[in-house]
Every structure is written in structure tokens, then in C-alpha cells.
Copies of this chain bind each other. A is one copy, B any other.
């Protein structure tokens, strides 16, 4: 049985989008992060071959997209609507960063029900009337000298933050589940034998003067310690040293 996906409680709503390419690119951006429910309020051109082309492997998201005549229709059934906006607005909406908004939305999606994330037009964003239908504003921190994010890029960032919020919640973050390491770590003894071997070889070649060793071995230990060599890598290094000995012991 397939596990219910809490991201299915989140719909992406694009209002009055001008360019069908952006609709396709948004669908692709959504699917890469596991979001599937796309609502289009009065798109200028949809369906459209340009949207299909930009969607790449996310044709299913476009096929299942719901085209709505009004924003009310697109928000029907939701318990929270979050508006993405670049500008600070004059009214007293609560304003969150994309990161904070994603985590708030996910909580709602888990505990309360359906959530909408709303994006305005490419040129002018959301109207005040549209904002009035939302409970929260989300803003993407951007370069103050150039805030002009592409619509699909904005969808990509929010979708990414939603996925990250999901991973954090499930404690499945990359940090916490490192993939099985392919190789076996070298043991303390392996590494110590390598250091002894290295020291002997450096003495043989004349690079290290045993009467005046300085901090050379210490430096090299630090270097290799940072690399945390694998067993097989230590074997390779010792093989190199052995190949040198054939010359120094002549």
C-alpha cells in the first residue's frame, strides 16, 4: 500500500499566468519536489504545446491541472492560503520567509487539511483583492537590487522548501541518513602502520632527517587525518611506498 503523501494536501495555485512556458516549468518544478496538484486561475494560454515542452517529464501534472475561473474556486476546500510576494505589502498580513512559510504550511497540511500556495502574474504579482483571500504572506529573500525571480523559479524554491520541511519533519534529512558507505574505514592500526612506513621511506629518500625531524610527521598526520582514509586507500599508499623502497634499498 502506498503511504499517503502529505504533500498531496498542498496545492499550487497560479493566478492569471501570461506565459504557458512558465506553467510547464512550474509543473516540472513541483514534480521534482513531490508536489502534484496544480490549479490555474484564468491562464492566458492553457493547454499549450509550449507548456508541454517545458514540463518535460511532468506531463501528468499538467494533465491533472485544474483550470478555474476564479480564485475562490481554486481555494475552495482549503484551510490555509499562503500568498507568495516579492514586495512588502502595506497591510498587516503576517509575513514569513519561504523557509518559515513552508514549515507552517506543512504543519497545516499534516494536522488540518488542504493548503494553497498562491503565485501571481509574471508582471504584477498578486492584486490586493487576491491577497485579501490569503492568511499569510511568504517572501523569498532575494537580492534587493534585483528581486525579479522567474515565476517557475519561485515555485521551485517554495516547492524545495516544502520538501525540506517534510524531510526535516520525518527526520529523513540528508544529514541524518547518510547512505551506506561503500568502503571500509581503515583501522587505527592500519593507519599507524602507514605512518611508520611513510616515515621510514622519507628517511630513506633523505627527505626527513631523523636527527632533526621537526614537525613533518605531525603535519602529514594531520593531512591524512582529515581525509579519514579507507582500508583500501591505505593499502594503495603503502603500495606506493613499497615501490619506492625498491629504489632506495638498491
A interface list, Cβ under 8 A from B: 25, 28-29, 31-34, 56-58, 88, 90-92, 95-97, 99-100, 139-143, 145-150, 152-153, 156-157, 160, 163-164, 167, 173-175, 178-179, 181-183, 202, 205-207, 216, 219-220, 223-224, 226-230, 232-233, 236-237, 239-240, 243-244, 246-248, 250
Inside 8 A of A232's CB, which chain B residues have their CB? Answer: 219
Inside 8 A of A141's CB, which chain B residues have their CB? Answer: 160, 163-164, 167, 173-174
Known: A148-B57, A182-B90, A182-B92. A153 touches B32 (CB 8 A): yes
Inside 8 A of A29's CB, which chain B residues have their CB? Answer: 149-150, 153
* CB-based contact B57/A146 at 8 Å: yes
Inside 8 A of A248's CB, which chain B residues have their CB? Answer: 247
* CB-based contact A223/B227 at 8 Å: yes
In angstroms, Cα B229 to Cα A142, docked, is: 30
Query: Chain B residue with minimal CB distance to A225?
Result: B227
In angstroms, Cα B146 to Cα A58, docked, is: 8
* CB-based contact B239/A207 at 8 Å: yes
Query: Chain B residue with minimal CB distance to A89?
Result: B182
* CB-based contact A179/B88 at 8 Å: yes
Query: Chain B residue with minimal CB distance to A5?
Result: B143
